Amino acid sequence: MAVIVAVEDDPDVHQLLRLLLEDAGHTVHMATEAEVGLGLVAEHGPGLVVLDVSLPGGVDGVEACRRLRAEPATEALPVLMLTAKAREEDQRRGMAAGASDYLVKPFDIVELLNRVEKLLS
């Protein structure tokens, strides 16, 4: 199937994402910080990036998404924001940064997998 880079710092969500996406047949590369995730994108050339918004290390998911959009090699790469930031303002900020989709935690597993497949198609 596809190669996916997921950046999530919550250990429980991190593990759940890996299990769900691998069970769906994808190769998953995980990071807990945006800078590491961006490095994984450069290294593995994924078909999708899943980004939390609130991340440690000084670069949040919104800034990471902006950086992906600024590079010709990743400007069209699908990005799913997966975050607890549920306010409309937060969603607008994520979409304005170039996110392809925005899903709020806690999320429905089937909904997550459906959105992943849609973004990969």
3-32 residue pLDDT tens: 999 999 999 999 999 999 999 999 999 999
Residue 73 resides in a domain: no
Residue 60 resides in a domain: yes
| Number of separate domains in the chain | 1
Q: In what order do the strands lie in the sheet with 101-104?
A: 27-31, 3-7, 48-51, 79-83, 101-104
**In the predicted structure, residue 1 carries a pLDDT above the cut 90:** no
Would you place residue 74 in the very low, low, confident or very high pLDDT band (cuts 50, 70, 90)? very high
In angstroms, what CA-CA distances link 70 with 26, 49, 50, 113, 117? 26, 15, 17, 27, 24
The domain in which residue 57 lies consists of 7-38+52-64+84-102
Compute the distance between CA of residue 108 and CA of residue 31 in angstroms, rounded to an integer: 22
Q: What CATH number corresponds to the domain at position 11?
A: 3.40.50.2300
pLDDT reported for residue 85: 85
Residue 44 resides in a domain: no
In angstroms, what CA-CA distances link 111 with 9, 106, 108? 21, 11, 5
Looking at the chain, the whole-number percentage of residues with pLDDT higher than 90 is 94
Mean pLDDT, to the nearest integer, of 74-86?
95
- Report the mean per-residue pLDDT for the chain: 96
Residue 114 resides in a domain: no
pLDDT reported for residue 63: 97
- Judged by average pLDDT, the poorest of 42-51, 62-71, 86-95, 101-110 is 86-95
Mean pLDDT, to the nearest integer, of 96-116?
97
Q: What's the N-to-C CA distance of the chain in angstroms?
A: 11
pLDDT reported for residue 86: 85
Residue 26 resides in a domain: yes
pLDDT reported for residue 30: 98
Using the CB atoms, write b or e for 34-72: b if 16+ within 10 Å: bebbbebbeeeebbbbbbbbebeeebbbbbbbebbeeee
